[in-house]
Amino acid sequence: MARKYFGTDGIRGRVGESPIVPDFALRLGYAAGQVLARSGASRPAVLIGKDTRISGYMLEASLEAGFSAAGVDVYLSGPIPTPAVAYLTRALRLSAGVVISASHNPYDDNGIKFFSGDGNKLPDAVEEQIEAAIEQPMGCVASEHLGRARRIDDAAGRYIEFCKSAFPFSLDLRGLRLVVDCAHGAAYHTAPHVFHELGADVVAIGNEPNGLNINDGVGATHADTLSRAVLEHRADLGVALDGDADRVLIADAAGRIYNGDELLYVIVADRLQDRMVSGVAGTLMSNLALEQAMARLGVGFARAKVGDRYVLETLQQRGWLYGGESSGHLLCLDCHTTGDGTISALQVLCAMRRTGKTLSQLTEGLELFPQTLVNVRVPRGFDWQGHAGLRQEQAAVEAELGASGRVLIRPSGTEPLLRVMVEARDAALAERAAQRIASVVAV
């Protein structure tokens, strides 16, 4: 079934434009409530969490009304990280969790995504049932069956304790000066406390949300802000989260940023000290150096389509525990069911504490290949896979690169663009090769 509303990460768009409008959120809540009511739960209940966007209040109220009209009880957590919703949904034995967030996007975007009762992304089949129900007329259960709504006053505290439980009791962060950039997002009142309660001297930035400043010049999408803050405060490390705190980047004392590929390598190499790691899942965009480093460690590696949803699917299919994207969305399924920026940062800090090594030392076995990405405008409906000249040039470049490089060509999902990415040990070679391929189809 072709999806009309749900994308790879829920429903997302510009606030005030369909589907991110109050009446759609109302119908979505009712439709989702109907699907949950049919699932067999005697009294379905859902948790609604959100990030700090001003539009979250509007969408929260509409969703709450829709669920109530369908006879579903609603728990409201207020602003809280996306992974906290996944955790609390499972911990409270609820039917589903709902997150109102557009993650790393600016404040005037928003979105709605669902977790199942076990803390995983909602299965495709259930999303399809919700889409079908949205198209039906909206009704309302009898008054005695309406859903009730209540606030969870200790949601942040519960999640803070959960994050701390992912860090070994035998270790602490005492003596560590740490900058924590919360992106003026959902982790503004959780992440600094997690690191502080584990003993770190925390300097919090990006922790004053006003509804309009989420991800604005701060957070994981603006890592230069973290670099400057680490140097300014003479910190040992810096941690940058995004608006809903499901991804993380880390800076060392010199302000050098470590991306998701590097952090994933540190975590997996540390796990190998006391357990077997069968495999790691990356994406089509994961650096070739990570794949080769995993091979040297004797760890399998698989590439999924871009998007944490597909990384998770690959892990589940293969029975693996670790994966992620270079953007900093990391999955440690031995700690959580979903990507969690705070918990991922704690796994890196655990490796540093256990070994006494710096991030630079821990990543000595991983030298990332330079990547060049060229966006080529093409006619709509362009058959790039059937373009003989493009295939010929790609094959020629791949033959030249051999095992020391990689070519990836893929269309944009939203624009008439063809994305040409070339990796090579030499940055100039990657640039020339990407331009060569792009010139074949440039209009």
- By annotation, the residues acting in catalysis are 103
Q: How far apart are CA 141 and CA 123, in angstroms?
A: 26
For the chain, give me the number of helices (H) and strands (E)? 14, 18
SS3 129: helix
Asked if 330 and 267 count as a contact pair (C-beta separation under 8 A), the reply is yes
CA 298, 304, 306, 312 torsion-angle sign: negative
Distances (CA, A) of 359 to 102, 117, 219, 362, 386: 30, 36, 20, 5, 45
Tokens of 176: 């560590």
Q: Distance (Å, rounded) from C-alpha 362 to C-alpha 220?
A: 21
Q: What is the CA radius of gyration of the chain?
A: 23
Pair of tokens at residue 442: 């440039």
- By three-state DSSP, how is residue 251 classified? strand
Q: Which residues of 349-376 are buried (b: 16+ CB within 10 A; e: fewer)?
A: bbbbbeeeeebeebbeebebbbbbebeb
Mode of pairing for the β-strands spanning 109-116 and 177-181: unpaired
Count other Cβ atoms within 10 Å, centred on residue 203.
19
SS3 content of the chain, % helix, strand, coil (to 5): 40, 20, 40
Q: How far apart are CA 87 and CA 79, in angstroms?
A: 14
Residues paired with 303 in a beta bridge: 282
C-alpha to C-alpha distance for 186 and 242, rounded to whole angstroms? 9
Q: Name, in order, each residue with C-beta under 8 angstroms of 199's C-beta and a sequence gap of 6 or more.
A: 172, 173, 174, 175, 176
Q: How many Å apart are CA 51 and CA 101, to the nearest integer?
A: 6
From CA 162, how far away is CA 186, in angstroms rounded?
Answer: 16
In 70-170, the DSSP E strands lie at 73-79, 96-100, 109-116, 149-151
